[in-house]
Every structure is written in structure tokens, then in C-alpha cells.
Amino acid sequence: MFPGNRKFATLLFGLMFGSTPGYAADTPKVVRACVACHTFDKGGASKIGPNLFGIAGKPAASDPDFTKYGDDFRAAAATGLSWTDENLDAYIADPVPFLRKVTGRASVRTYMITRIRRADERAQIIDYLKSLKD
Ligand code: HEC
């Protein structure tokens, strides 16, 4: 058809499956670890987790369209948590201990259990998140 035209392939995929995938065709590969639960396009749908367009620099839990933030995550947000590079890095590395530390709670629950162990991959993800703005 149009070999090499990934934008077209993405569009076709979206048409075939009744929705767009929620991220652009040039999205870095490491971000594929997130797309089961998050969309990244502006105004993208909530899935298991909130849409992440423009998340860098924002206060935590501030997506008004996402109603399923967990209690422990809301408690973390209530401490004044915001998504600086440093906080994004620690959260994406391992969400559970990060939330324990921020909330002071001995045990926390969250659906986000993805752990990105490699610092270079986290840096790539954070750069990508920072690029998602108007
Ligand atoms: C299994 C589902 C799942 C996967 C996979 C996942 N997340 Fe999440 N994520 C969530 C949920 C659910 C929340 C809401 C937090 C809560 O309720 O604990 C969240 C919250 C977030 C937030 C904070 C959003 C806010 O509004 O403050 C960021 C940033 C984030 N995820 C980034 C990522 C990145 C980057 C990846 C991939 C490396 C990823 N997530 C993978 C489910 C997931």
C-alpha cells in the first residue's frame, strides 16, 4: 500500500479498530510500556489511567476528566505533589515506593505498577512527556 508511511498506517489502524491509538506514530518505543493504560494525544480518552498530554510540570491528579485516581494517589497529590522531572523519574522508576514515600503510608495501592528500571529509558519518556504541549 504505502510502505513506510507510518502516519497513514496509524490512521488505518485507528479506522480498522474504531479508535485512534492515542499516540502519534513517531512516539518513542519505550512509551509503548504505557499505552495500555494511557493516551498521550491532546484531549485523548481516559483509559485505566488518565490522558498524559501536558502532564509535565502539572500538579498530580489534576485531570478533571479522570475520575478513577486511587485514594493513595489522591493523598500523594494532596501533599502538593507536582510533576517535576525529578518526581516523574522516581514515579516511573517504581510507583509504589514513590507513593509510600510521598504519603508516608506503609502500604499503598495503585493500578500503575509499571517499573522502568533503566535511567536512559526514563529520561527518554520524560523528554517525550515534556514535548507534549500546545
Ligand atoms: C496498568 C496501567 C498503567 C500503566 C501500564 C501505566 N500507568 Fe501511569 N497511571 C495509571 C493509573 C491508574 C494512574 C492514576 C494513579 C493512581 O490512581 O494510582 C496513573 C498515573 C500516571 C501519572 C500521573 C497522572 C496524573 O494525573 O497526575 C503519570 C505521569 C503516569 N501515570 C505515567 C505513566 C508512564 C510514563 C507509563 C509508562 C512507562 C505509565 N504511566 C504506565 C496506570 C498505568
For a ligand 1 pocket test, name from 29, 37, 65, 100 the mutation site with the most ligand atoms within 8 angstroms of its C-beta: 37
| Whether the CB of 35 sits within 6 Å of ligand 1 | no
The pLDDT > 90 percentage for the chain reads 78
Q: Please tell me the residue having the least CA distance from ligand 1 atom 12.
A: 49
Pick the closest to residue 99 from 108, 89, 87 (CA basis).
108
Which residues, at least 6 apart from 113, have a Cβ–Cβ distance to it below 8 Å?
Answer: 95, 96
At residue 3 the predicted structure's pLDDT band, cuts being 50, 70 and 90, is low
- The mean pLDDT of 101-112, rounded to a whole number, is 97
Ligand 1 close to Cβ of residue 112 (< 6 A): yes
In the prediction, which pLDDT does 21 show?
80
pLDDT the model gives residue 65: 94
Ligand 1 centroid–CA 8 distance in Å is 28
> Distance, CA 38 to ligand 1 centroid (Å)?
7
Residues 6 or more apart from 49 whose CB is under 8 A from it?
34, 37, 38, 66, 111, 112
State the closest ligand 1 atom to the C-alpha of 77, by its place in the atom list counted from 1. 27
* Per-residue pLDDT at 14: 47
Distances (CA, A) of 69 to 23, 26, 57, 84, 113: 22, 29, 18, 19, 14
Residue 132 in contact with ligand 1 by CB distance below 6 A: no
Range from 25-39, 64-78, 92-106 carrying the lowest mean pLDDT: 25-39
All cell numbers assigned to 101? 514515600
Residue 23 has pLDDT above 60, yes or no: yes
Q: Minimum mean pLDDT among 10-19, 42-51, 91-100, 121-130: which range?
A: 10-19
In one-letter notation, the amino acid at residue 97 is P
Q: At residue 17, does pLDDT exceed 90?
A: no
Mean of the per-residue pLDDT values of the chain: 90
- Using alpha carbons, select from 40, 112, 116, 129 the residue that is nearest to residue 70: 112
Mean pLDDT of 95-113: 97
